Amino acid sequence: MSDFLRLEGLEKRFGSTAVTRGVSLSAARGEIVALLGPSGSGKTTVLRLVAGFETPDAGRIVVEGEDVTALAPERRRFGMVFQHYALFPHMTAGENVGFGLAAQGARAAETRGRVAEMLALAGLSGFENRRVAEISGGQQQRVALARALAPSPRVLLLDEPLSNLDPTLREHTRRELKRAIRKVSITTLFVTHEQEEAFELGDRVAVLDHGRLEQIGTPEELFERPATRFVATFIGRSSVVPVAWDGGARIPGGPLWPAVAGAPLAPGAAGDLVVRPEALAFAAAARPDAVPGSVTERRFAGRVAYFRVATAAGELEVLAAPDAAAVGDRVLVVPEPSGPAPRVFPRMP
């Protein structure tokens, strides 16, 4: 697929603080890309640079081959849904959706038709005359989406669009949001700090930390093949224990476990093993690759449970059947070959 939207080396500083550091990524036509990261990672600044609300100190933004870096926001033809929706409380849902069309000089009949079409797309048929104060938070979010899509933008930008909703409503609205975006097949960038949201909505997920793009890939790629230590520990659950690199993870006083070098490592180099609970299991009997330990915590999660095990090498988290062990039990932890491969990164100072 060819690139529809390209961000090339975006740099932004506020005073002496670098907020984005050479961020480069692309999105194909109709692709949904999530910008995921902790607070302060620069993801919202990237979105504001794309929208035109901030000007980069270096780099450029290209849409359909057009460099829009110097264009004012209104000339970029982008749609934006803000975290707090920014709906006009004195207007009806229909008037909110039609606001941008009226500003473009659309005729009244054309505006009415487009408003009805966009509200239907958002699952809000018949809401034209509802006041904003009379509808729920999830419905307000969908009105904001309909308003952003009404002028037929080239790119849709979403800034933490579901963060103000309670968990139950968030899940339902997330499905509705994805359905609407898929139906219009619009290239979309959205900011979130919720991994579940990024994985469900994003075709690909761009992980940022301290203004740097750590990795961009599908949810499966990020989970199974993290490119950096940060991605390996930020995405999903994981344990980190010190090891020596010996073509695998040499656990101090213990066995050599199969692992992938997440960065160039010399033989015998000190490293940190990042291993997911799905990549570990309990052994029923002694074996050469077993690490002994004691269960310190058990968290029930339906058909499975997460067990924290204290070992001489450090704490390991194991995913197993709920009745596999109890707190206080002595256990043997071994690699689970069917799980995502553990990775070894250079030791953090």
Q: What is the DSSP string of 290-325?
A: -EEEEEEEEEEETTEEEEEEEESS-EEEEEE-TTS-
Helix (H) or strand (E) holding 230: helix 229-234
Model confidence pLDDT, tens digit, residues 196-212 = 999 999 999 999 999 99
- In CATH terms, are 3-224 and 237-346 the same topology? no
Q: 255 near 291, Cβ under 8 Å?
A: yes
Could you state, in order of their start, the residue ranges of all structural domains in the chain? 3-224, 237-346
Model confidence pLDDT, tens digit, residues 76-134 = 999 999 887 788 888 899 999 998 887 777 788 888 899 999 999 999 999 999 998 88
List, edge to edge, every strand of the sheet that includes 291-301: 280-282, 330-335, 291-301, 304-311, 315-320
> Which CA distances in Å does 214 have to 136, 168, 203, 232, 294?
37, 31, 17, 10, 35
Rounded to whole angstroms, how far apart are CA atoms 157 and 76?
Answer: 12
Give which of 250, 259, 264 is closest to 340, Cα–Cα. Answer: 259
Q: 82 near 57, Cβ under 8 Å?
A: no
> Position of tokens 């509705």?
176
> Which CA distances in Å does 35 have to 50, 103, 223?
12, 30, 16
Listed in sequence order, the residues at least 6 apart from 276 whose beta carbon sits closer than 8 Å to its beta carbon are 223, 236, 237, 238, 239, 339, 340, 342
* pTM of structure: 0.93
Pull the structure tokens for residue 71: 């264009």
Place domain 237-346 in its CATH homologous superfamily.
Nucleic acid-binding proteins (2.40.50.140)
Per DSSP bridges, beta strands 58-63 and 3-14 are antiparallel
Listed in sequence order, the residues at least 6 apart from 310 whose beta carbon sits closer than 8 Å to its beta carbon are 293, 294, 296
Query: Per-10-residue mean pLDDT for the chain, 349 residues long?
Result: 91 96 97 96 97 97 97 94 83 90 79 92 92 88 91 94 80 87 95 94 97 98 96 96 96 94 94 97 96 98 97 96 98 96 92
The CA-based dihedral angle spanning residues 181, 184, 190, 193, taken in that order and rounded to the nearest 10 degrees: 10
Q: What is the pLDDT of residue 1?
A: 54
Q: What is the pLDDT of residue 4?
A: 97
Q: What is the pLDDT of residue 99?
A: 86
Q: What is the pLDDT of residue 329?
A: 98
Q: At what angle do helices 93-103 and 137-149 cross, to 10 degrees?
A: 20
Q: What is the pLDDT of residue 127?
A: 93
Query: 3-224 — its CATH code?
Result: 3.40.50.300
Rounded to whole angstroms, how far apart are CA atoms 114 and 98?
Answer: 8
